[in-house]
Structure 1
């Protein structure tokens, strides 16, 4: 696919994915949904990938769904929401939950405004680094709707139920400081892109297989039973022990600190 509404680049194993409709505050139209879904699938196949930084061009992350554009084509609206089974993710949900499923750390850089669907996308990221002036809102209730882009998957893990209810029912716009106090974001930084790049670079010093196993363990077991968590820990540890990158990680702690890791294993 040729990407027109995403800017995608890769440097030192880190993919930079930028929403690129700055004249529309990066509002989400059908084409942007399709491109982001394609991008996630493409990145999932890249075993040399070590991290993703997700951001918005033009000083804003996203103003949310471009309602006028999406509703102008009933066929596109159906394609956006269609799913074969209720428990599957549709296109609108895949652009949030898809980042959770990538076997690498995903860092969202949030500047300007991050509303509605934009907020649900960043809730699919593992880490959210925010500019001090950023404003956020889960505002679907304002339009008589429920947030339906899989944002609840991340929200239920990072907020108490009463706070999640308050934010989604009120559709309030909150500041970066308020979001930090609620634990909705990871940190506030004057230069969020520089901070995200520094963190992503730091995480590349860890075995890519270890990062994949840690992310999978936490995301798949956060709300699971203790029995399921123990089982998953043991299975992933066996995979790591049998892999080349565990040996390389040990060598990097000793005589060869600059030894390069092998590409990430398949199947995470």
Structure 2
């Protein structure tokens, strides 16, 4: 087994975590070890109350070219571990690779350049925002191999694209550019420097209460497709929890005294 880390994670003084896919020589193609390391990292970040934003990027020429099919096919035991689930409605390890970013209680921003294909696109679709370079390309590539997207795309794609756009990409495996991806909702914003733009946006979020960031993300993830009654209940309940938290008083103080801003406490909202 290689000792090369498949991902790196650096947390700076602004409490912003930068996660980098670190397999540039393979165009950041996803092998079993990358699945393991990403899933372990998202579990850690979910528990870290100090993290205020996460940015995910790829090293080298491309964000992620998709699955390393050859690598994954050489070990049938690993393939079974990847797809196995002990209960049908729970995510397996492949689905968790994308969906677990939704469980991190702060904004998760994907900074995309070059190829973002197949499993790489499903990975990025699990984030809250996707900022792409002008040269980025996107493809739901699985149909090329006689497969369907099965890494959580059935949840993520429906929230960011219309059904007909999703079906077109999934049925044809066509490659689209960043402008088209932005037009159909797959990309949040196109920028000359995706990482710099993502970082500036993360700083805007850092200026707000970490409880507000967590509550907003949880509220809309839980209610976007829910009944109106559930949405109204959770909206009120989460507002009470945020309003009673210590960071609410700090937020008010920061607005009233911008020249002497108090630092927020670690996230309290759960």
Q: Same fold (TM over 0.5)?
A: yes
Question: TM-score, length-normalised on structure 2?
Answer: 0.96
Query: Where do 1:243-254 residues align within 5 Å?
Result: 243-254=245-256
Counterpart CA distance in 1 for 2:221 and 2:102 is 8
The residue aligned with 2:236 is 234
Kept after mapping to 1: 8 A contact 2:242/2:269: no
RMSD (Å) for aligned C-alpha atoms: 1.1
Do residues 263 (structure 1) and 266 (structure 2) align? yes
Kept after mapping to 1: 8 A contact 2:95/2:152: yes
User: Which one of 88, 100, 108 corresponds to residue 102 of structure 2?
Assistant: 100
Pairwise CA distance, 1:266:
5.1
Counterpart CA distance in 2 for 1:56 and 1:67 is 19
Deviations 1:189-230 (A, max 9, x none): 111111011100111001000010001111110000100000
User: Which one of 74, 77, 89 corresponds to residue 87 of structure 1?
Assistant: 89
User: Which one of 202, 205, 208 corresponds to residue 203 of structure 1?
Assistant: 205
Pairwise CA distance, 1:3:
7.5
User: Which one of 23, 26, 51 corresponds to residue 25 of structure 2?
Assistant: 23
Kept after mapping to 2: 8 A contact 1:47/1:266: no
Pairwise CA distance, 1:161:
1.1
Closer, same or farther: CA 266–249 of 1 in aligned 2, 3 Å:
closer
Do residues 185 (structure 1) and 187 (structure 2) align? yes
Deviations 1:139-192 (A, max 9, x none): 111111110000221110121111111111111100001101111101111111
Query: Where do 1:48-127 residues align within 5 Å?
Result: 48-127=50-129
Kept after mapping to 1: 8 A contact 2:254/2:261: yes
User: Which one of 14, 34, 37 corresponds to residue 36 of structure 2?
Assistant: 34
Counterpart CA distance in 2 for 1:114 and 1:227 is 38
Counterpart CA distance in 2 for 1:107 and 1:140 is 24
2:56 is paired with a residue whose SS is: strand
Kept after mapping to 2: 8 A contact 1:22/1:60: yes
Counterpart CA distance in 1 for 2:129 and 2:257 is 32
Kept after mapping to 2: 8 A contact 1:93/1:150: yes
Kept after mapping to 1: 8 A contact 2:32/2:72: yes
The residue aligned with 1:5 is 6
Pairwise CA distance, 1:76:
0.5
Kept after mapping to 2: 8 A contact 1:136/1:175: yes
Deviations 1:3-25 (A, max 9, x none): 81111101120001011110100
The answer for unaligned runs of 5 or more in structure 2 is: none
Do residues 171 (structure 1) and 155 (structure 2) align? no
Deviations 1:117-136 (A, max 9, x none): 00000000000000000011
Query: Where do 1:138-153 residues align within 5 Å?
Result: 138-153=140-155
Counterpart CA distance in 2 for 1:126 and 1:254 is 30
